[in-house]
Every structure is written in structure tokens, then in C-alpha cells.
Structure 1
Amino acid sequence: MKVLVTGSNGLLGQYLIQRLSALPGYEVVATGRGPNRLKMQDGYVYESVNLGDEAGVKGLVERHRPDAIIHAGAMTQADDCERNKDACWMANVTATRYLLQGAERTGSFFLFLSTDFVFDGLGGPYREDDPVNPVNYYGASKAAAERIVKQAKVPWAIARTVLVYGLADDPRRSNIITWVKNNLEQKKKLKVVNDQWRTPTFVQDLAEGCRLIIDKRAQGVFHLSGKDMLTPYDMAVQVAHYLNLDTRLFEKVDATSFKQPAKRPAKTGFIIEKAEKELGYSPHSFEEGLKAILGEGPAPKENGA
């Protein structure tokens, strides 16, 4: 199976490339903006493409004629999206339309990565058929892209996810685990939010969930996240305890303590029964993901491959 992965320089893209290119029977084409920034440079083809370039995007799909496209490329920082709405719309909506038009020419299965931020956070955790109602522009752009995908003339799936964490090749990409570790090791005090709830997602689980979807050509919307409903404060405390760092450096605060351009939904998180039943999706606990990132965890769960 030939698979085109967009956003390959991102955290999920990195793990998708690693996972898929290691499997027999897979041919992987990776694309991102600018040069390939992954440490692993072999075992796949890389092309730099600006997803806002209609001709470039359609040309990429036409050249490679993939059996499946995993569209993980996006503008994902909610505050950046709020500040620069035109760039957000181009990256998250217009680029999705260009890729889908390319997929319709080649008959490629289309998997779109979306977010818990399509929900308003008033009724979490959410099922796949709960109504969307975004409270910020990032969520609105992803909800708009979902509507485009659902009208596609090719088989499609949408994988929504929540607060993805893991170790990136790019050291500039931080996550809550490295943020807590680095600051506490330097004896810095941290304000940590305790009034937002999520089901954080280990990036290797998300990559495996995407593989399961394209392997099975499973159509429709799937929620792929962890099972543990935690606040950022809960996560930070688990990190500190695991590393024997001082939790007294934490200050428990609510979201109003931070002035952020984009409003955050209060309680999202996912019910993942559909993915478990239909895909065989089986995510790690947050504790297991934490141990894996810090080098003492189990091997990644691989469902049937």
C-alpha cells in the first residue's frame, strides 16, 4: 500500500513515518513544508510541498497516486490561529480541499486528523456523533474541514484526537512532560491549570490508530485518545512523582490566570469505545506513556502488525 503522509515534520507525522515505513507492504511518501527535519531519513520518499499551493498539492498526489492519504498537516496552535485567521483557514481548510480534490482524481482513501477542539467543552467526554460547537477559531477551522471531508467523493475517515504528547525529533517542540521535567529540574515555579479536563493521547497510540484505519479502510469518524481523564495539573503531578521532583513548585490555578487569545473548552476528552470495537484500538495509560517517553516503558502496542 502506498501512503502519502502530510505534516511529516510534526510530532504525529514523525511517528507515522517510523511506523508505516517499518511495515512490509507499505510504501511511504512524506511531505512537509521546507526540508525534511526527521532524524530517520531512509525508507521513504520525502517531498517538500506548501499545502496552500493548489497546483503543488494536486501535482504531488497525481505524481505518486497513493492508495491512502493521511492528512496530518495543520496549523494547530490555537492562539496562533486566533491571531492569524487567514493563515489558519488556508492551512486547515483550503489545503484539505486541495488534497481531497487530488484524492478524488486518484481514488485515494482519505484520512483527516481533527481535534477535540471542535467541541465546546460543556459536555465531555464526547462520542463521535455528539454535535460540534467550537469555541475558538482553530476548532472552527477543523470543524469546517470536517464538513468538506464528509462530502468527499472518495472513501474517507476522520480521526479526532486530544492533547497529543510524545518525544519529537525537533527539540523546539515541547510537551507537558518535557516542560515539567525541564522546569522542575531547574527549581522553577510553575503555574498549572486545574480546571480543564482532557484524555491525553500518547503519539505512538495515535499513529497506530491511523494505521488501523487505513489498513481496514474504516470509514466514518473515530475518536482516538487515551482513556485517562486528567487536568494538566494531574499530568504534571504524575510527571513530578515519577521523576522524584518537587511538587511544591507547582501552583494550582484556573484558566483565567492566563491571558490567551483563544478560548479553551473546559472539559473535552473522548469515549473511545467505537475505535476499540471497530479498529481494535488499545491505547496506553498516561502512566505507561510517561514511562515510555522517559525510557523505561513498555514496547509500543502494535495491533496485529
Structure 2
Amino acid sequence: MSSAGNHPRRLLITGASGFLGWHLCRLAASEWSVYGVGCRHRVTVYDATPVTGDLTDSDVMATLFDRIRPQAVIHAAAASDPAFCERHIDEARRINVTATESLAGQCARWKIPFVFTSTDLVFDGTRPPYAEDDATTPIAAYGRQKVEAEQRVMACWPKALICRLPLMIGLSGGFRGNFSFEMLKAIETGTSMNLFADEFRTPVDGQSAAAGILTVMGKTSGILNLGGRRRISRYEMGRRLAVIMECKDANIRPVSIREVAAAAPRSPDVSLNSQRAYRLGYDPADLDLTLERMVNTFRKGQP
């Protein structure tokens, strides 16, 4: 079994088998005894003690808190696929809302820091860039559930911190491939790939996002945007990767969000204004440097 180390402070991280959770566990292990909660998939971070538990079962979580006695919690677990949330609203809501409220309640009971990872998709994408105080206007089930979760978190634990995250890019040792991996693979093999040219985000790599969360945890409460420094479309990002990879045969085609039938509606531009977080020490990596690192990691085959 992996060890959480000998640090006196205990940090509980949910979603530890996923993309962001994997990065959080790795970075936090230098200063915390990390306990990584996975539900359906195995936690693979060596420096974290894996914990299995159903986040939607409040009694299970209460017992878990009593056993581990964490001194801080980062809740990164979510049903984050917008299409899944549209098709399975009740199941997704139990994960995205019910479990989140239960964890926030436990942190209120123990009076410890609680960080909840939310999303830029709480906005409809018509009035970017979005600051923390802008009104939420979700257009899909996933965004609506995250808004409800944000509200319930602040209602039961006002000292909690909600970190709104953008499109996450990069590679990790988490259990599944992601958009970045599929894009790199398609570019390298010359596989035809359609990428949105009119959907804009402020993407950030997983390591920067994890470092940002750990940096701001305990420094503030309320809502904080953790976007990247550059607004970009997936199509432009794909073209930049093709140049870095020197793949002249890359078959990348621009498409519009209006042309593609999707299970969940898409917001055209949910770019985040993250100046407040920058002032607190959040310092996301330069996008071009991030893309170069992605390519190097992909070619080495080891995150």
C-alpha cells in the first residue's frame, strides 16, 4: 500500500484517481500526509494513501472523517462530462451536488479548510471575460449542478473556497486518457480531427492548477478563478501543437459549435479573469511552454 508520508498535517483529496487529483496528490505530498479518495478507479500516486469510499454516502464520509481526521480537504471529484450530466441528471447531481454539500458539511463540523473545484461552465459564454462576481448563467446540466453546489457549499461552510477551473490540458498518470492525449495522438498519426474554432477558454495545465489550489488554500474564502493567462480555441491550440510536433500531415479541421450536434449545449466563450488569484500567488505556466512540455511528455510516454 502507498504511504501518505510522515508529515503531521493530513490532507484529504477526492478524485485522486483523476487528472487534477493526480497532480494534487503529487504536489501536496511534499508538505502533507495525503489521503487520496477514489471510488471507481484505483489511486496510482505513490506518495498518497489510497482511500476507497462512496462520496454520495454521507454516513460513509462521516466515518472516513472520524478515522482520518483531516486538517484540510480538496474536493476534486466530479461527474464532469457534460454529455453524461445531460443524460443522467439524477446520478450526476448526486455526485456534483449532494456529495459536495455533504463534504462541506463535514468540513464545517471539523472547522477545517474546504476547497471545492468548480468550472468556467457556470457561464453562458456571451459576456467574457468573467470575474468572480459576475452573475452565473449556466446553459447545461453540468453548469447548473456546479452553480447549485457552489451555493450549497457557501451556505453550510462560509469559510470554504470555491476554485473555478477552465479547460484542463496536459497529461497525467490518472486512470484515463483525456482531450490532450487524444489530440496529440491524432496529430502524430495524421488522423482526421475536428476542433472547435469558435469556442474559447483560458486553459491551464494540471500541474499549474494543482499548484494554484495549494497556494491559495487557507489564504482566502469565497470564489476564485484559476484560469490560464491566454484565451484560445481548441482549433488554434491544435494547430500550435502540430507546429511544435513538426507534423506537416496533421489533419486538423476547424468546425463551429453551431455545426456539431451535441448532447449538451456549448458556451462560446467562458474565458476567465483570474487577476484576483494572480495577486494571491497563483502563477500558471505560459501556454506555449505548456504545449511544448505536453509534446515532450507524450513522446516519452511517461507523465
| TM-score, normalization by structure 2 | 0.91
Answer whether contact 1:113 1:158 (CA < 8 A) is retained.
yes
Aligned residues: 290
Alignment counterpart, residue 11 of structure 1, candidates 19, 24, 42: 19
Secondary structure of 2:176 counterpart: coil
Distance 1:14 1:248, change over 3 A: closer
Divergent runs of 4+, >3 A: none
CA displacement at 1:119 relative to structure 2: 0.5
Could you say which residue in structure 2 is the equivalent of 1:246?
248
Alignment counterpart, residue 188 of structure 1, candidates 183, 191, 197: 191
* Unmatched segments (≥5 aa) in structure 1: 297-305
Could you say which residue in structure 1 is the equivalent of 2:206?
203
Answer whether contact 2:190 2:250 (CA < 8 A) is retained.
no
Could you say which residue in structure 2 is the equivalent of 1:300?
none
Answer whether contact 2:188 2:245 (CA < 8 A) is retained.
no
Deviations 1:90-109 (A, max 9, x none): 00000011112211221121
Give the alignment's Cα RMSD to 1 decimal: 1.7
Distance 1:60 1:257, change over 3 A: same
Could you say which residue in structure 2 is the equivalent of 1:30?
36
C-alpha distance in structure 1 between counterparts of 2:250 and 2:170, whole Å:
25
Secondary structure of 2:247 counterpart: coil
Secondary structure of 1:265 counterpart: coil
CA displacement at 1:32 relative to structure 2: 1.1
Could you say which residue in structure 1 is the equivalent of 2:287?
286
> Aligned AA for 1:282?
D
Secondary structure of 2:187 counterpart: helix
Could you say which residue in structure 1 is the equivalent of 2:300?
none
Deviations 1:107-150 (A, max 9, x none): 12111000000001001111010000100000000000000111
Could you say which residue in structure 1 is the equivalent of 2:270?
268
Alignment counterpart, residue 161 of structure 2, candidates 152, 157, 162: 157
Could you say which residue in structure 2 is the equivalent of 1:2?
10
CA displacement at 1:2 relative to structure 2: 1.7
CA displacement at 1:256 relative to structure 2: 2.3
> Aligned AA for 1:211?
L
Deviations 1:20-41 (A, max 9, x none): 0023xx2211101145241x32
1:111 matches 2:111: no
Distance 1:186 1:171, change over 3 A: farther
Identical aligned pairs, as a percentage?
A: 28
Secondary structure of 2:184 counterpart: helix
C-alpha distance in structure 2 between counterparts of 1:148 and 1:132, whole Å:
15
Superposition pairs for residues 226-237 of structure 1, below 5 Å? Answer: 226-237=228-239
1:102 matches 2:77: no
C-alpha distance in structure 2 between counterparts of 1:50 and 1:138, whole Å:
20
> Aligned AA for 1:14?
W
Answer whether contact 2:216 2:282 (CA < 8 A) is retained.
no
Answer whether contact 1:202 1:225 (CA < 8 A) is retained.
no
Deviations 1:173-198 (A, max 9, x none): 2223x222211322222211101111
Deviations 1:241-271 (A, max 9, x none): 0001136622211012321110011111111
Could you say which residue in structure 2 is the equivalent of 1:299?
none
Answer whether contact 1:34 1:49 (CA < 8 A) is retained.
no
* Unmatched segments (≥5 aa) in structure 2: 1-8, 298-303
CA displacement at 1:172 relative to structure 2: 3.2
1:61 matches 2:65: yes
